[in-house]
Each structure stands twice: as C-alpha cells, then as structure tokens.
Amino acid sequence: MIGTLVPLQSVGFALVALGAPAIVLTRDLLRLVIVNGFYGLVLVVLFVVYGAPDVALSMLVVSTVAYPLVLLVAISRVRSHGRET
C-alpha cells in the first residue's frame, strides 16, 4: 500500500507546485478561471491520494463548477459595465 502511495503523493505535490505558479502567471481573466479550475482538480487528486475522499468530493464540485461560475459572472458584469461608460 505504502509502496504505491508515496509516488502518487509525490506526483500530486508536484502538480500542485506547478499549478500554483501557473495561476499567478496567467494574466487573462477568462483563462485564469479555467486554470484555477484545473488547479482545483489537481488538489482533488491530492486529497484522494491522502485519504480524504469526503473533502475531495466537496472540492471537486465547488472548485470546478460553483466558484468558476461566480467568477465568470463577476467578470462579465465588470466588462459589460466597462463598455457602457
């Protein structure tokens, strides 16, 4: 069990370590929403590997659907207001 888990944990951590700077370096807001969603999925993998499937389930839906929706709506509102003025 431990023999298969340690490589998985390392891969999970590596992906998280790559994902965080990817978010910081993304400047376009729409792309940022997508990258952030993928980062959430990477965290989900990490939670599963560390034996927290309950947290992973919540994170899965919140990070890939609920939060991106709020962000998208906020971005579209700001942009449409910007066009009017």
List contacts with other proteins (CB under 8 A). Answer: 53-54, 56-58, 61-62, 65-66, 69-70, 72-73, 76-77, 80
Say how many CA atoms lie within 13 Å of 8 toward its Cβ.
14
We find the least distance from the C-beta atom of residue 77 to other proteins, in angstroms, to be: 6
Cβ distance to other proteins smaller for residue 2 or 25: 2
Token output for 18: 């790559």
Q: Output 11 or 75, the one with its CB closest to other proteins.
A: 75
Chain-centre distance for alpha carbon 70: 14
Which residue, 5 or 18, has its beta carbon nearer to other proteins?
A: 5
Tell me how far, at minimum, the Cβ of 68 lies from other proteins, in Å: 10
d(C-alpha 35, C-alpha 41), whole Å: 10
Please, what is the minimum distance in Å from the beta carbon of residue 43 to other proteins? 15
